[in-house]
Amino acid sequence: MPTDPHLLFEQWFALAKESEVNDANAVALATADPAGQPSVRMVLLKGHDERGFVFYTNLDSRKGGELIGNPRAALLFHWKSLRRQIRIEGAVEAVSEAEADAYFATRSRDSQLGAWASDQSRPLDARSTFEARYEEIRARFSGTDVPRPPRWSGFRVLPERIEFWLDREHRLHERRLFVRSATGWTEGLLYP
């Protein structure tokens, strides 16, 4: 097995993309506000490399506000069909403007328009209000490219700990833990 957690992630992620019916890149994102109140929700992983794991959101959303106020997070991939999960913990940084622009340009036009129309995580009086805003935005950008909204960007989780969990019979699971130090990654096992 690889001793580089990023290489091992690549292998497991490739298996998940082959076997998972929907959204192999779906990951639970746990954040906490500055007072320590936790919150968790599903997001979609949109990039990963040796620097970290990237997802995008409205910066004014609950998760955006929590990440700005307390820039630490945990991710959990759970691929039930593979009987595997990966836990990632670390600091969080904003992606560059160029990265956010490049990813936003790959989204479908309807998703781009939706990013402009939505006040993500804010109270909504009626679905019709959002639909009307969407139609206004669609008319506003008719015939032109849709630019990235100013309050829409991404975050990168900079991994400090990555745990690979493999289900075994009788709860005799296999757990490999990688911890980043100043000189690189150290590896060890955890009891199930």
Report the length, in residues, of the chain.
192
Q: Comparing C-alpha atoms, which of 184, 36, 10, 160 is closest to residue 89?
A: 160
> What pTM was computed for the model?
0.94
Instruction: Give the strand pairing for 52-58 and 72-79.
Output: unpaired
Q: Which residues pair with 165 in a beta bridge?
A: 85, 175
Q: Among residues 122, 168, 171, 180, which one is catalytic?
A: 171
Contact yes or no for 169/132 (Cβ under 8 A): no
CATH class of the domain comprising 5-102+150-190: mainly beta
Which tokens hold the place of 180?
């980043």
pLDDT in tens, the chain (192 residues): 668 999 999 999 999 999 988 899 999 999 999 999 999 999 999 999 999 999 999 999 999 999 999 999 999 999 999 999 999 999 999 999 999 999 999 999 999 999 999 999 899 999 999 999 999 999 999 999 999 999 999 999 999 999 999 998 888 899 999 999 999 999 999 999
pLDDT at 156: 98
For tokens 């009626």, the residue is 126
Return the pLDDT at 26.
98
For residue 1, what pLDDT is reported?
63
Where are the domains positioned within the chain? 5-102+150-190
Residue 51 annotated among the catalytic residues of the structure: no
Provide the token pair at 150: 């100013």
Helix or strand or coil: residue 150?
Answer: coil
Residue type, 65: G
